[in-house]
Structure 1
Amino acid sequence: MAVLSLHPYHLPLSQPYRWAKGVQTHRTGFIARMALDGATGLGEAALLPHVLHDPAAFVRQAEALLEGLDPLAPDWLDQLALRECPPAIRCALSSALFSWQAARQGLRLAELFAGGDMVEEAVPVNALVTDATPDACVAATRAHVSAGIQTIKLKCGHDRDADLRRVAAIRDAFPDIAIRIDPNQSWDPAWAASQLRQLRPFGLQYCEEPLPPGTPMVTYRRLREEAEVPIALDESITDTAAAELALTQGAADVFVLKLQRLGGLDRLLAVARLGRAHGVDSVVTSTMETTVGITVGVHAAALVQTPGLDSGLATSSFFADNLAPPEAVFDGCLSLPPGAGLGIALA
């Protein structure tokens, strides 16, 4: 019988993670591990950084969903869906299953889904710069650019003038890099278009989901038209139905896809394929996961990466401690691990 085990974690960050929804100092969640026939699969469940929860209680919730189910059954994931399995838990369980299946066949996780096609061996990544003074933002950007990174994602908030100064300072110091901004749904629709028009001269790659939760997709279409700055949707893209609605309304230029929000690699790929069929490319980003979740993200990005749209997976430096040594960014990229399955092992 397959061995499926769940392991909670509570890890400190090396620096506070500041964004529009607060300050985070720890990350919590659990790792799913499936082992059988000499092969091992791993997956991670990690809620959004601003969501506080007891990792042991999170494990108990998952164990209750798993009761009476056989992980080797062909319809295991369907059975979990019937039990309304939350996306983050499904992400952990499906990642463990898929990476175990890949390892058992001597394939890397990305290769299991590639259907014989070649996968990218290195994934270009952006660097995250959080809310700080303009000088601090420039200093952080300089360190990232020296590591070969060519895209900066700047967290924004309610202070419109401060955000303008930060973007202006980064662009003045680095005229050739890509800059994307992320207000994390904190902007008022009454002034969002005006703010983006003021930022337009700085050549933003895109603005990520600036408006409050529940904003109609037609409002995002109008924002795209009025501001003439590309709009990326993140929090709104929860499944293929949500993506279909955004595409129908012309609400997005880019989809920002998170494994934890969508529920796993198979669901992420379905949304990415749907978007690409309608001319909307996807960027795979992290939810501040440990090395396990980030590595699943690298496999996902290797399958959907669009040249020039760097993935948002270089967040391991925020951790003071991790579950496995993180892959270092080299020449602006994270490499796809060479080993079968997920390609990493836990201590």
Structure 2
Amino acid sequence: MDLALERLADRMHVVSLPLATRFRGVEAREAALFSGPAGWGEWSPFLEYEPEEAARWLRAALEDAGSERPAPVRETVPVNATLPAVAPDAVAGVLARYDGCRTVKVKVAERGQVLADDVARVAEVRALLPDVRIRLDANGGWNLDEAESAIRALERFDLEYVEQPCATVPELAELRSRVRKLDIPIAADESVRKAEDPLLVARAGAADVLVVKAQPLGGIRAALEIVAEAGLPAVVSSALDTSVGLSMGAGLAGALPELPFDCGLGTGALLAADVAAPLVPVGGAISVGRVSPDPALLEARAAPPERVDHWRARLAAALPHL
């Protein structure tokens, strides 16, 4: 694709999508979509990300719009339900949006909450869905001792794994040693997608599972290479994308030789609006294939002019780091 700033900016459609449930502290999700020779690509780094990090996401979007994806080895991929850090009485309503999902990822370690809030939320999931698999995601929100205490308090709910309980690779390695007897795997997300060296966590023996996301890792091909080199089982996840971005994640999951875990690609259910027919779970799975936005929805969900200007400035800042 032509990487000239003005021509890329002219191909960029910035949208703002309301969320059905507050997530990551926001009530609307902004994303930039690009059309290209192969289809559409999504660029949606979170607003606090600096240009160098945002450039990896941009690389993924331009690759996806500009070239064909690797050939898939499966037509659908199973996905988990994602439960934000809501109160117990809101759990059932959120989970009702996920058709047939057999795994629930529960957000924990939310700023402003305490361990008792996490225990109550997970207990409600287990009470409502006795047979579901439960995984936790702390987004690096605990220190080492807090993480150990939390895992010991929550392990009675039969956890599949705990994702990014601590922020740093040394903390993850130490925590993994401390809780080894509990037989609860440690998964790494931020220590992969935000690291200068995404393979460090594997070399350090700091995780049992890698969480990989196509956008933050620079695209489907880059993510496939990381999984192959790491030699660890991988979970494909998303970053609260539109259905265009979720389809990129599905393209990654569809191309992986092995897919031992349900994917975190069901987050379309957290959006109150989308740019296409929503790519949401049906029977606990989503299809592998490209998604193109509906022109009418692109227009209806277009961000205000000042936000478009903001994204054009982000694009100008990120391009030199490609």
Which of the five TM-score ranges fits, normalised by the shorter chain? Answer: 0.7 to 0.9
SS of aligned partner of 1:13: strand
C-alpha contact 1:11 1:320 (8 A) present in aligned 2: no
TM-score (norm 2): 0.80
Matches of 2:54 and 2:20, distance apart in 1: 32
Q: Show the counterpart of 2:285.
A: 333
Matches of 2:273 and 2:90, distance apart in 1: 24
Does 2:16 align with 1:11? yes
Select which of 226, 240, 252 maps to 1:288: 240
- Give the 5 Å matches for 1:305-320: 306-320=258-272
Q: Show the counterpart of 1:28.
A: 30
* Aligned CA distance change for structure 1 residues 331 and 110 (closer, same or farther; 3 Å): farther
Pairwise CA RMSD of aligned residues? 2.6
Q: Deviations over 1:231-259 (max 9, x none)?
A: 11101113896333211211111111112
SS of aligned partner of 1:86: helix
Q: Output the amino acid matched with 2:136.
A: I
Among all aligned residue pairs of Structure 1 and Structure 2, give the percentage whose two residues are the same amino acid.
Answer: 30
* Aligned CA distance change for structure 1 residues 284 and 320 (closer, same or farther; 3 Å): same
Select which of 123, 128, 132 maps to 2:77: 123
Does 2:219 align with 1:233? no
Matches of 2:210 and 2:265, distance apart in 1: 15
- Give the 5 Å matches for 1:172-183: 172-183=127-138
C-alpha contact 2:235 2:259 (8 A) present in aligned 1: no
Matches of 2:208 and 2:256, distance apart in 1: 15
C-alpha contact 1:220 1:251 (8 A) present in aligned 2: yes
SS of aligned partner of 1:137: helix
Q: Show the counterpart of 1:93.
A: 62
Matches of 2:36 and 2:220, distance apart in 1: 16
Q: 1:332 offset after TM fit, Å?
A: 0.4
Matches of 1:346 and 1:163, distance apart in 2: 39
Gaps of 5+ in 2: 296-322
Select which of 266, 284, 287 maps to 2:221: 266
Gaps of 5+ in 1: 62-82, 103-108
Does 2:165 align with 1:210? yes
Q: Deviations over 1:38-91 (max 9, x none)?
A: xx422111013xx259xxxx9xx8xxxxxxxxxxxxxxxxxxxxx998111111
* Aligned CA distance change for structure 1 residues 96 and 235 (closer, same or farther; 3 Å): same
SS of aligned partner of 2:283: coil
Does 2:313 align with 1:344? no
Q: Show the counterpart of 1:65.
A: none
Matches of 1:84 and 1:203, distance apart in 2: 35
Matches of 2:257 and 2:277, distance apart in 1: 24
Matches of 2:139 and 2:145, distance apart in 1: 16
* Aligned CA distance change for structure 1 residues 27 and 239 (closer, same or farther; 3 Å): closer
SS of aligned partner of 2:104: strand
Q: Show the counterpart of 1:165.
A: 120
Does 2:256 align with 1:304? yes
Does 2:45 align with 1:47? yes
Matches of 1:12 and 1:231, distance apart in 2: 32
Matches of 1:153 and 1:84, distance apart in 2: 25
Q: Deviations over 1:95-114 (max 9, x none)?
A: 1112xxx3xxxxxx341xx5
Q: Deviations over 1:319-341 (max 9, x none)?
A: 2332221234211000123xxxx
TM-score (norm 1): 0.74
C-alpha contact 1:45 1:88 (8 A) present in aligned 2: yes
SS of aligned partner of 1:154: strand
Q: 1:178 offset after TM fit, Å?
A: 0.7
* Aligned CA distance change for structure 1 residues 286 and 84 (closer, same or farther; 3 Å): closer
SS of aligned partner of 2:29: strand
* Aligned CA distance change for structure 1 residues 232 and 85 (closer, same or farther; 3 Å): closer
Count of aligned pairs between the two proteins: 284
C-alpha contact 1:10 1:26 (8 A) present in aligned 2: no
